[in-house]
Structure 1
Amino acid sequence: MLPKEWHRSTLGEIARITSGGTPDRSKPEYWGGDIPWVTTGEIQFNTITDTGEKITAAGLQNSSAKLFPLGTLLMAMYGQGKTRGQVAKLGIEAATNQACAAILLNDNNDPDYFFQYLSSQYEEIRELGNAGTQKNLSGGILKGVLVPVPPYREQRRIAQVLTTWDQAIATAERLLANSQRCTRDLMASILSGRRRFREFTDKWRYVDLDAVFVRITRKNSTQNTNVLTISAEHGLISQRDYFNKSVASANLSGYTLLHRYDFAYNKSYSAGYPMGAIKPLLSYDAGVVSSLYLCFRMRSDVDADFDFFRHYFEAGLLDQEIEGIAQEGARNHGLLNVSVTDFFKLQLHIPTAPEQRRIAEAINVARADEARLKAQVQALRQEKAALMSQLLTGKRRVKLTVSETEVQA
């Protein structure tokens, strides 16, 4: 139920919905001008103030591309991954390609309010796409989307409140990005020995990996069913927690059994891990991994710091070594061809155990600050989402000033 001053309308009743086009790529005179040209990849719940490509006046005049005014709402109609259904607002005059829907609201409808509303309905709208191998939205589909329409002044105040939250989130995200950048720089410098603490002067040494670690070959004799996978963000995590299901084979007897603080190397290369990822088991007491993983643990007779090495591996300081032993071109189904013997003879460049502990301590402090800021960003997003669900449905009303109330009346 909406408040009595509100009404429900379709997007097509309160806006003109159209799309743009792409000038002929074979005509260089159409490209490299000064007219911003938006593609779907630039629509990311943002205000667009510049574009990666620009077209000329001739390109605009001789194609289906159209120039849209500042304040136009854009929605990605096509796109892989999460692109389809994302929304942006033009902070400049710009043309778009044919995959971008341009939503030009009628008078007395506020673009900022509808930007917030359409953003809040992202998951629902993207599911309206046409059936097919890749679902797409269309102008016709968007015209039928139902939207709540408060009086114009109330639209403005709702948008102002939510924009304030966006600004707080953006500030927190900048602080987080800066913290992450500083942590990466810190790790790169102190884990490589380029930057050292004054109290340590001993020369770093080169040792084989098997001088510090021993291979794990224990099979799953305990019938453990906690099948683990490697996630860039979460490390070794249960497939059930990550995928909401297990994608492993029914017979797990051939899997390798890991205990907490054991390491696993996934030879599959992925984004951010060109030489594969090495992660420790931290979230569970035990779990099992595919026999394709190379697993190892720290030797009990060696004085070494666990946290130092988990940071060492995460920073990719073994990548160059692994690249040297992976046979060029010998990749099978995304797996690097790395032999067990070669892997355990990789060279580690490490300091004494006391310096390892000092380095790990510094990185742990930086990581804790990063985690605190990440939690703050997540909390702000959740609080804004909860507020949106109230304000954008009229369950919670904003207060208008006396003058705004009079104008609205």
Structure 2
Amino acid sequence: MKEEVKTVMVPKLRFPEFRGAEGWKLIALQEVSTPITGRVGQKKLTPVSISAGIGFVPQSEKFGRDISGKQYQHYTLVSDGDFVFNKGNSLKFPQGCIYLLQGWGEVAAPNVFICFRLKGGYSNGFFQNCFEQNQHGRQLKRHITSGARSNGLLNISKETFYGVEIPTPTLSEQQRIADCLSSVDQWMAAQARKVDALKSYKRGLMQQLFPREGETQPHLRFPEFQNAGEWEPRTLGSVCSSFSGGTPSTTKPEYYEGDIPFIRSAEIARDRTELFPPLPAKLTPLHLDHFHHQGA
């Protein structure tokens, strides 16, 4: 019999302790996970939905009300540590998004979602990052033959979904990668909190440094201006000049690929204009295209 050839991949960037280890192998979701089919029944849980780029949100928050209705008892019971696939398309995830439930305890997920749990030997954090990279979507798009149905969901069967293959290393390397990326997430969250605090600080300063409505002096002034008197109202036309122009003539090479950059109104939504070069591709170390393929 002809020996089966399995695809083995090696990432371009690898932690030192794994540089001499075996390559990563493509493993289908059906091999590494167990479907979750248990129903909510009489339990009183929060009905949730999934928003691309955000994750789990209560239905009452996303839709303004609980839309589960009579279907609630047939919703799937999902617990922390479980994954949920929403087949709805979005700009961020055109083939649907997958999120890991964390910090919710138990929730009720619509039964049109595909819910699953990883088996032992596989890291939730590692697979979560794979799904955030849309590794599932790049494979699923080959199987989508039409647009979303009337309910907004794509025609992706469970069989097709569980056939998605994820490049997977040993558990120790999975956890090493997950821990590293988790640390980056924590650092980003800390920086975001600092930015939010600075924004609040700036808003407070602006309220003090500018006169309030009906007043002619700010409540807070720099020492050298404390006796400078009241602020005088002026019209915008008295402090600036305005102008408008048309698109430069194509007979002027200094504008087109020349030394004078400009942007046309029709280009505002584009990722490349005369002012800006093409945007660099997002770095995705675990992207399938970043692996060297070998026969094993």
1:248 to 58, 68, 82: 68
Instruction: Give per-residue Cα distances to partners, 1:112-167, cap 9 Å, x unaligned.
Output: xxxxxxxxxxxxxxxxxxxxxxxxxxxxxxxxxxxxxxxxxxxxxxxxxxxxxxxx
Does structure 2 conserve the Cα–Cα contact (< 8 Å) formed by 1:236 and 1:283? Answer: no
Does structure 1 conserve the Cα–Cα contact (< 8 Å) formed by 2:75 and 2:108? Answer: yes
Where structure 2 has 5 or more consecutive residues not aligned to the other structure, the ranges are: 1-8, 232-296
1:321 aligns with 2:139: yes
1:399 to 203, 212, 221: 221
C-alpha distance 305-402 of structure 1, shift in aligned 2 (>3 A): closer
Measure the CA separation in 2 of the matches of 1:249 and 1:272. Answer: 29
1:355 aligns with 2:177: no
Q: What residue is the counterpart of 2:195 in the other structure? A: 377
Matches within 5 A, 1:62-211: 193-200=11-18, 201-211=21-31
1:205 counterpart SS class: strand
Where structure 1 has 5 or more consecutive residues not aligned to the other structure, the ranges are: 1-190
C-alpha distance 407-197 of structure 1, shift in aligned 2 (>3 A): same
Does structure 1 conserve the Cα–Cα contact (< 8 Å) formed by 2:50 and 2:86? Answer: yes
Shift of 1:283: 3.1
Instruction: Give per-residue Cα distances to partners, 1:33-72, cap 9 Å, x unaligned.
Output: xxxxxxxxxxxxxxxxxxxxxxxxxxxxxxxxxxxxxxxx
Give % identity.
Answer: 26
Instruction: Name the structure with the higher helix share.
Output: 1
2:148 to 323, 327, 331: 331
1:355 counterpart SS class: helix
Q: What residue is the counterpart of 1:294 in the other structure? A: 114
Shift of 1:337: 0.9
Matches within 5 A, 1:11-50: none
1:272 aligns with 2:272: no
Measure the CA separation in 2 of the matches of 1:403 and 1:368. Answer: 43
C-alpha distance 284-214 of structure 1, shift in aligned 2 (>3 A): same
C-alpha distance 358-404 of structure 1, shift in aligned 2 (>3 A): same
Normalised by the length of structure 1, the TM-score is 0.48
Shift of 1:315: 1.0
1:331 counterpart SS class: coil
Shift of 1:357: 0.6
Q: Relative contact order (alpha carbons < 8 A, sep ≥ 6): 1 or 2 greater?
A: 2
Does structure 1 conserve the Cα–Cα contact (< 8 Å) formed by 2:208 and 2:220? Answer: no
1:405 counterpart SS class: coil
C-alpha distance 397-210 of structure 1, shift in aligned 2 (>3 A): same
Residue identity matched to 1:309: F
Shift of 1:377: 1.5
Measure the CA separation in 2 of the matches of 1:348 and 1:403. Answer: 64
Q: RMSD of aligned C-alpha atoms?
A: 2.6
Measure the CA separation in 2 of the matches of 1:356 and 1:229. Answer: 28
Shift of 1:404: 6.3
Query: How many aligned positions are there?
Result: 216
Measure the CA separation in 2 of the matches of 1:236 and 1:407. Answer: 55
1:274 counterpart SS class: coil
Q: What residue is the counterpart of 2:252 in the other structure? A: none
1:238 aligns with 2:58: yes
Does structure 1 conserve the Cα–Cα contact (< 8 Å) formed by 2:52 and 2:90? Answer: no
1:283 aligns with 2:100: no
C-alpha distance 287-367 of structure 1, shift in aligned 2 (>3 A): same
